[in-house]
Amino acid sequence: MTAQGEGSATELFQNVTCPFCGLLCDDLEIARTGTTLKVVKNGCPRANAGFQRVLPPAKPLVGGREVGLRDAIEAAAALIRDAQLPLFGGMATDVDGARAVMSLADRACGVVDHALSEAQYRNLKVLQTSGWITSTLTETRNRADLILIVGSDVDKLHGRFFERVVCAPQSMFKDVAKRTVVFIGEGLDTSAASGGRVGEVINLECPSGRLTDVLGVLQARLRGAPLAASEPTSPKRGILATLLSRSRNVVGKSPEIAGVKLAQIDLVAEKCKAARYGVMVWAPPSLTLPQADLAVHLMCEIIKDLNVTTRFAGLSLGGNEGSPSAASVATWQTGYPLRVSYANGRPDYDSYRYSIGRMVAENEGDLLVWTASFSTDIGPPVTRMPTIVLGTPGIRLSQPPEVFIPVGTPGIDHAGSLVRCDNVVSLPLKNLHRSRLPRAADVLAAVERAL
């Protein structure tokens, strides 16, 4: 739809998918006047900042000098050709871009990893070792009568999660009762849990470092374990026994754990057992406590216990900067999660050895190829090795790269697709024609052809 007004014509795009967080809200309306975009409907602070950011002028650079795109591609190819172990990091791009990174890394015998994979591994460690039962955004919106938000300030990370999922006024089913919303953690914003779909709101305020204590006691109460247990003598006691012993001297004096009254935990336990469809929600980037994977493990074990008598599931959020797309592409093409090396001529997986954050810090590798096409925040780390950056104009650079190639943002400057944070659907991205910057996928493919 085009409207003629003062100055340039304004074009209105409807049902636009927002690429700036893992929810991939696909109901936005965006107006474009010349090269300026404005969120007209269904935006959030993150979407407004992403769509309405004004691009600074940017040209391909080699050694700090402006060059043509073809020359920049040739210079990048020369650096990769001479490298013994190139590291392909960032990976903040769409599905096609992630495929192109994997293909180039395969050809160059390099290592691939996403900038946000450390948060992803708070989930992956649990999924690999003990498995889980998970829901989706749609299932949660339509079915859940109890939602627990654990250790994550979801409203800050995903500005429309409550609007679209927790508090959505419509559902597929007319008999869904008002849902109870429980917050467990420190300083979580509970204000968004309101409206006609929300009944009781419970807040278990506890320090972030004691989150696992509260989850452990919740699991104990669900299992009917008494907290006045004697101190175990084995040095290899389990998680549950350790938490019981921590609570041993508290019960009878001040019945609380980590500042949360035991009666409140018992109340939540009873609501979990009575739920028809409960969902425990967390966002891995928010779980910054030591051994955060332990918190995810406890949540997943609680969910398994509850499924003996009722329906319960987990829902992991996060997924910004295209991280679910990168992880999915890595698995589709190699059978492994991210942190894959092609140095031996075939895919090799190791979650520690092939962490590019660690490799850069320890000066392993001799070239860093960094892709970041969504926001200016995901810049490459400081390193002594030469760097090639394919980035959105204005990306924050800690040091001048040897080669810089400005690339477009999927869903704004070109079409594409992204995998949603619940990993069940890939959504299409529209080309809003803000600029003519090239796709990262096309630049990476051109570099591979030049090798």
CB 176 within 8 A of CB 161: no
Q: In what order do the strands lie in the sheet with 61-62?
A: 65-66, 61-62, 403-406, 387-391, 367-372, 86-92, 111-112, 340-341, 348-349
In a domain, 223, yes or no: yes
What band does 384 get if pLDDT is binned at 50, 70 and 90? very high
Domain span at residue 169 reads: 132-316
92 and 193 co-located in one domain: no
Residue range 115-165, pLDDT digits in tens? 999 999 999 999 999 999 999 999 999 999 999 999 999 999 999 999 999
CA–CA dist 395, 373 (Å, integer): 9
Closest to 312 measured CA to CA, from 146, 131, 198: 146
In a domain, 428, yes or no: no
CA–CA dist 377, 361 (Å, integer): 19
Amino acid identity for residue 38 in this structure: K
- pLDDT at residue number 228: 58
| For residues 359-384, average pLDDT | 96
191 and 296 co-located in one domain: yes
| For residues 344-367, average pLDDT | 96
In a domain, 419, yes or no: no
279 and 381 co-located in one domain: no
In a domain, 38, yes or no: no
In a domain, 30, yes or no: no
In a domain, 381, yes or no: yes
Using DSSP's 3-state secondary structure scheme, residue 372 falls into strand
306 and 333 co-located in one domain: no
What band does 174 get if pLDDT is binned at 50, 70 and 90? low
CA–CA dist 114, 378 (Å, integer): 10
CATH code, domain with 217: 3.40.228.10
388 and 307 co-located in one domain: no
305 and 326 co-located in one domain: no
174 and 94 co-located in one domain: no
255 and 147 co-located in one domain: yes
What band does 7 get if pLDDT is binned at 50, 70 and 90? low
CA–CA dist 87, 89 (Å, integer): 6
144 and 263 co-located in one domain: yes
Q: Which helix (H) or strand (E) holds 312?
A: strand 311-316
- pLDDT at residue number 255: 82
Task: State the sign of the Cα–Cα–Cα–Cα dihedral 79, 81, 82, 85.
Answer: positive
Q: Which of 280, 296, 316 is the last residue of a domain?
A: 316
Residue range 313-345, pLDDT digits in tens? 999 999 999 999 999 999 999 999 999 999 999
CATH code, domain with 94: 3.40.50
152 and 264 co-located in one domain: yes
- pLDDT at residue number 434: 96
267 and 139 co-located in one domain: yes
Q: Is 169 a residue whose pLDDT tops 90?
A: no
- Phi/psi at 323 (5° precision): -65, -40
In a domain, 88, yes or no: yes
88 and 183 co-located in one domain: no
CA–CA dist 262, 258 (Å, integer): 10
Q: Which of 316, 335, 354 is the last residue of a domain?
A: 316
CB 12 within 8 A of CB 31: yes
Residue range 404-416, pLDDT digits in tens? 999 999 999 999 9
Residue 364 CB: number of other CB atoms within 10 A?
A: 16
Q: Which of 275, 296, 316 is the last residue of a domain?
A: 316
CA–CA dist 144, 166 (Å, integer): 9
In a domain, 366, yes or no: yes
How many independent structural domains does the chain possess? 2
| For residues 349-377, average pLDDT | 96
Comparing 5-14, 242-251, 419-428, the range with the smallest average pLDDT is 242-251
Residue range 262-307, pLDDT digits in tens? 999 999 999 999 999 999 999 999 998 888 999 999 999 999 999 9
Q: Is 171 a residue whose pLDDT tops 90?
A: no
- pLDDT at residue number 39: 98
| For residues 426-436, average pLDDT | 97
- The runs of H, that is alpha helices, within 200-355 are 211-222, 239-248, 262-274, 292-306, 323-334
Q: How many CA atoms lie within 13 A of 296 on its CB side?
A: 31
| For residues 57-69, average pLDDT | 97
Q: Is 357 a residue whose pLDDT tops 50?
A: yes
CB 115 within 8 A of CB 349: no
